[in-house]
Amino acid sequence: MGDPLETYRRMRDFGRTPEPAGEVGEREGAPRFVVQRHRASRLHYDVRFEIDGVLVSWAVPKGPTLDPSARRLAMHVEDHPIEYLDFEGVIPSGEYGGGDVIVWDIGTWEPVKTDDARAAVDGGELHAEVHGRKLRGRFVLVRRGDDGGSGEPWMMLHKRDEHAVEGWDPEDHPRSVLSGRTNDEVLADPHRLWRSDAPAAEAAVSLLPEALPDSAIDELASLGTQGTWDVFGRRLKVTNLDKVLFPGDPPVTKRELLAYTARIAPTALPYLEGRALNLHRYPDGAESKGFWHKERPRHAPEWLGAWDNEEADEGETETYVVADEPAALVWAANFGALEWHPWTSRTSAPHEPTYALIDLDPGTSTSWDDLLVLARLHRTALDHLGVTARAKVTGRRGIQVWVPVVEGYTFEDTRAWVEKLSRTVGKVVPELVSWKWEVRARKGLARLDYTQNAINKTLVAPYSPRPGPEAPVSVPIAWDELDDPDLRPDRWTIRTVLDRVSERGDPFRALLGAAQELPEIS
Ligand code: MN
């Protein structure tokens, strides 16, 4: 066999790129395998084994199964570059393999009965012991047709070992093992693009917001107690930079808050833009009493987004701030806004919520474990209903769940739906929940607060700081993190959350572009 990537290279469109690539590399440690669920012109699963630095691949229309009675057609296709191993995202339509891809399973594997996996493939029979998250145990791939390059029919089966499961269907396990997302959710908000026309090392293109350059943070650090900061293309007057805003060791200064705000702004912006922003201001720091500030101040810079509420009555806020660009959030932080509260509706349709909000509000005797029980029950209910939603910890004591909805609902609609859902959940654990309006009457029990689904009622924004020690942050989590024993409602602060976001991404991005109709709850 010649260069194992030759066929892959041939299938790319070289008319658009001058430089062929895809270095065949070696790697220490156990070889890896991946299964990608790929919706191209037809749904199939790509089963790929790392062999000699490339991914030897089969396309399995019905997907691999643990069912030992099943025999699955597996088309042996061209080797893929190793860079494709953890690719999840979209391949532009019109390009080779155009469609959406999730990492359905990933892990390590070892060839059985041979040390030379490539020779086994060439010989038409590969026995593989796989250690994945979904797939485990012994698989066998056997060539059925004659030897003839790529696109030849093989058969894939699972041995009758201790990992075999009769009747097991891969379609019952549709989520990515990397992001927890389905193909639909990845298609709605892809984080990466695979450009089949580019060299393998450059083919994965990030679609996530661009980070703030370090030089901007250096510039902020070099300012005195006040000055002019060039950030995101705007000149901002920043003041009282060494003022302590949060207790901590060391305490958190305004300079540190502004640096955090600028760095998180590109990630937080999709949840703020196009919405009126209620600012919770603490100009004297988190230990003083805060107050709501809704009116856009007259001294605000001209470029700062604004929205006139034409329905404002006498004495009500007339003009709101709208954070339509990252610099706007930095402006708000410099203005003493420690918390950012965007409206649930957009300024273009203030009476139409874009999210149904589930606010799990602990009472004085609600333990963290109690709250997790309530959150997991909501997870189960939403999953059962087939609804896309994500949870976030509030940075204080609570958990909230955000459910994106299509346009056309009123706040009455979303409030009624959330009430129905939460009452159904509450019936399972009546000992944990109170439906009493008055705090005293709740006897320390948790409240499942559907009443936040109302115009101009707001929940704290994803990634907003909260007024507590070390500046805790309200942080979106993946559903399975509800089972993480280290999860706490105030686990992350402005000093730790940026690392988390750069490592794990933003779980709430699954909600963007996932607006849905709310199913009937019976
Ligand atoms: Mn494919």
How remote is the CA of residue 477 from the centroid of ligand 1, in Å? 30
The answer, yes or no, to whether residue 149 has pLDDT greater than 50, is yes
pTM, two decimals, is 0.71
Give the residue from 171, 206, 241 where a domain finishes.
206
Give the residue from 206, 238, 260 where a domain finishes.
206
Structure tokens that stand for 54 in this block = 């490339």
Neighbouring C-beta atoms of residue 147, cutoff 10 Å:
9
Angle CA 467–468–470, to nearest 5: 115
In this prediction, residue 3 carries a pLDDT of 55
**β-sheet bridge partners, residue 108:** 32, 131
In a domain, 77, yes or no: yes
- The single-letter DSSP state of residue 62 is T
Residues 406 and 491 both lie in one domain:
yes
| CA within 13 Å, CB half, 249 | 0
Residues 309 and 396 both lie in one domain:
no
How remote is the CA of residue 357 from the centroid of ligand 1, in Å? 37
How remote is the CA of residue 40 from the centroid of ligand 1, in Å? 7
Structural domain range at position 325: 214-342
Give the residue from 292, 316, 342 where a domain finishes.
342
Q: What is the C-alpha to C-alpha distance for residues 132 and 275, in angstroms, rounded to an integer?
A: 43
The answer, yes or no, to whether residue 15 has pLDDT greater than 70, is no
In this prediction, residue 363 carries a pLDDT of 96
Sign of CA dihedral 126, 129, 133, 134: positive
The answer, yes or no, to whether residue 300 has pLDDT greater than 60, is yes
How remote is the CA of residue 35 from the centroid of ligand 1, in Å? 10
Rounded mean pLDDT, 157-168: 97
Q: Between 94 and 323, name the one with better pLDDT.
A: 323
Please, which pLDDT band fits residue 21 given cuts at 50, 70 and 90? very low
The answer, yes or no, to whether residue 335 has pLDDT greater than 70, is yes
The answer, yes or no, to whether residue 147 has pLDDT greater than 70, is no
Percent share of the chain, pLDDT over 90? 80
Q: Identify whether the C-beta of residue 457 lies closer than 8 Å to the C-beta of residue 348.
A: no
- Provide Rg for the chain, Cα atoms: 26
Residues 336 and 377 both lie in one domain:
no
In a domain, 449, yes or no: yes
In a domain, 444, yes or no: yes
Residues 114 and 193 both lie in one domain:
yes
Q: How many domains does the chain have?
A: 3
Residues 384 and 366 both lie in one domain:
yes
pLDDT tens-digit profile of 352-384? Answer: 999 999 999 999 999 999 999 999 999 999 999
How remote is the CA of residue 150 from the centroid of ligand 1, in Å? 13
Helix residue ranges per DSSP H, 386-410: none
How remote is the CA of residue 106 from the centroid of ligand 1, in Å? 15
Lowest-confidence range among 15-24, 134-143, 154-163? 15-24
How remote is the CA of residue 45 from the centroid of ligand 1, in Å? 7
Rounded (10°) CA dihedral 214, 216, 218, 219: 170
Residues 123 and 224 both lie in one domain:
no
Q: Identify whether the C-beta of residue 163 lies closer than 8 Å to the C-beta of residue 137.
A: yes
In a domain, 350, yes or no: no
How remote is the CA of residue 203 from the centroid of ligand 1, in Å? 16
Q: Identify whether the C-beta of residue 261 lies closer than 8 Å to the C-beta of residue 329.
A: yes
pLDDT tens-digit profile of 426-470? Answer: 999 999 999 998 989 999 999 999 999 999 999 999 999 999 999
Q: Identify whether the C-beta of residue 100 lies closer than 8 Å to the C-beta of residue 183.
A: yes
Structure tokens that stand for 292 in this block = 């709501």
In this prediction, residue 23 carries a pLDDT of 38
- The single-letter DSSP state of residue 325 is S
